[in-house]
Amino acid sequence: MTIHTLDAPTASALLEWYDRHHRDLPWRVSPPMAKRGIKADPYRVWLSEVMLQQTTVQAVKPYFANFLMKWPTVTDLAKAPGEEVMAAWAGLGYYARARNLKKCAEAVASQHGGIFPDTEEGLKALPGIGDYTAAAVAAIAFNRQAAVMDGNVERVISRLYAIATPLPAGKPLMRQKVALLTPADRPGDFAQAMMDLGATICTPKRPACSLCPFNGSCEALRLHDPEQFPVKAAKKEKPVRRGAAFVAVTSDGDILLRRRIESGLLGGMTEIPTTAWTARQDGETSTEAAPFNADWQSSGTVTHVFTHFELRLSIFRAAIADRVQINDGWWEPVTNLEAQALPTIMKKAIAAAIPLAFKTAKG
């Protein structure tokens, strides 16, 4: 029997791929540029990394160009009026980041003579620079052997080693693997190559494994299921509450409605009579809680997801000859339901009992 073994992944395989297939980006010193002796500008690397944290390469390009035109160096940015920086940032979102960007530029200008510190530790001491940005700038701008891990890198590394621990718990192991794979020679290109591979080949859906430089060493590919990685922690299920709701309709086509109390969930809105919504398994979900005696027939269950719980309402319908005198509520023509302040859950409940009550209600 032949046992199929994988080759160990190597940085050199990835770097060879990067030399041929790297993306050309305005802030990047590509391998041909590096050969011509062009060095990465830490200001550009830092600026692009901060901008890229919230949006795509395509969206960042015009902002990056505009910033560089207005403020070609970190010292220029440090001197810029705060409002101008915020205005240039507008549209990128996360405005706290723009404020930190300005603070960081000021710190580099005033405390470091306009020159970025060249170590991860030194960079991390600056305002607004976290683990990721410090590692990325240290590797890309200063060729430090720093383990750089963004979402793209997480995907590649989790597939390469078939890391089954869900995110975020799996991160430390992923970072360890990235650190082991990051070479002393060309660590910045390695980091950028991992990002490019994740963005163009090892994509979330249908990765192009046949074109991947790691395809002889990838555990997830060997398992024939790259897409299952990275494993995400199952979302915590919301608690379930249950109740019953009652749709009473007269032969004239009137429906019994009432108003919810002002305070609390859906306060002041219109509803059909309903029980309390409780988390107990024995929550009132039967006709015992109906507003009056009638031949209540089940119309199924509707569910609705609120922010903090999922509601499952058992719906009962009664067709009655005439209006019943009720202290708490009123009778409304079904044809007039659209004009009522009925929340979605109530529309769903009514639609379960009277399918054509709302053209737009979803079950």
Q: Is 345 helix (H, G, I), strand (E, B) or coil?
A: helix
- Rounded distance between C-alpha atoms, residue 266 and residue 313, angstroms: 15
Structure tokens at 106: 């000021």
Q: Please report how close the Cβ of residue 196 comes to ligand SF4 at its closest, in angstroms.
A: 12
Give the per-residue contact string, 155-194, with ligand SF4 (x = CB under 6 A; - = no): -x--xx----------------------------------
What residues have CB less than 8 Å from 348, skipping those under 6 apart? Answer: 302, 304, 361, 362, 363
- With binding defined as CB under 6 A, does residue 286 bind ligand SF4? no
Q: Please report how close the Cβ of residue 209 comes to ligand SF4 at its closest, in angstroms.
A: 3
Contact region with ligand SF4 (CB under 6 A), list: 38-46, 171-179, 207-215, 343-351: 207-215
Active site residue 49: yes
Residue 58 CA, distance from chain mean position: 19
Answer whether the bond into residue 168 is a cis peptide, omega within 30°.
yes
* Helix, strand, coil percent values for the chain (each to nearest 5): 40, 15, 45
Q: CB-wise, 35 or 205, nearer to ligand SF4?
A: 205
- With binding defined as CB under 6 A, does residue 10 bind ligand SF4? no
Q: Please report how close the Cβ of residue 156 comes to ligand SF4 at its closest, in angstroms.
A: 5
Which is it for strands 330-333 and 254-259: parallel, antiparallel or unpaired?
antiparallel
Q: Give exposure, 204-224, as e/b (b: 16+ Cβ within 10 Å).
A: eeebebeebbbbebbbbbeee
Q: CB-wise, 156 or 257, nearer to ligand SF4?
A: 156
Q: CB-wise, 105 or 221, nearer to ligand SF4?
A: 221
Q: Is the dihedral of CA 181, 184, 186, 187 positive or negative?
A: positive
Q: Which of 243, 246, 248, 247 is nearest to 265 (CA)?
A: 243
- With binding defined as CB under 6 A, does residue 209 bind ligand SF4? yes
- With binding defined as CB under 6 A, does residue 153 bind ligand SF4? no
Q: CB-wise, 212 or 257, nearer to ligand SF4?
A: 212
Size of the site for ligand SF4 (CB under 6 A): 14
Q: CB-wise, 205 or 280, nearer to ligand SF4?
A: 205
Task: Single out the catalytic residue among 49, 120, 154, 271.
Answer: 49
Residue 60 zone, left/alpha/beta (φ > 0; ψ -120 to 50; rest): alpha
Give the per-residue contact string, 211-240, with ligand SF4 (x = CB under 6 A; - = no): -x-xx--x-xx----x--------------
Residues that bind ligand SF4 (CB under 6 A): 156, 159-160, 201-202, 207, 209, 212, 214-215, 218, 220-221, 226
Catalytic residues: 49
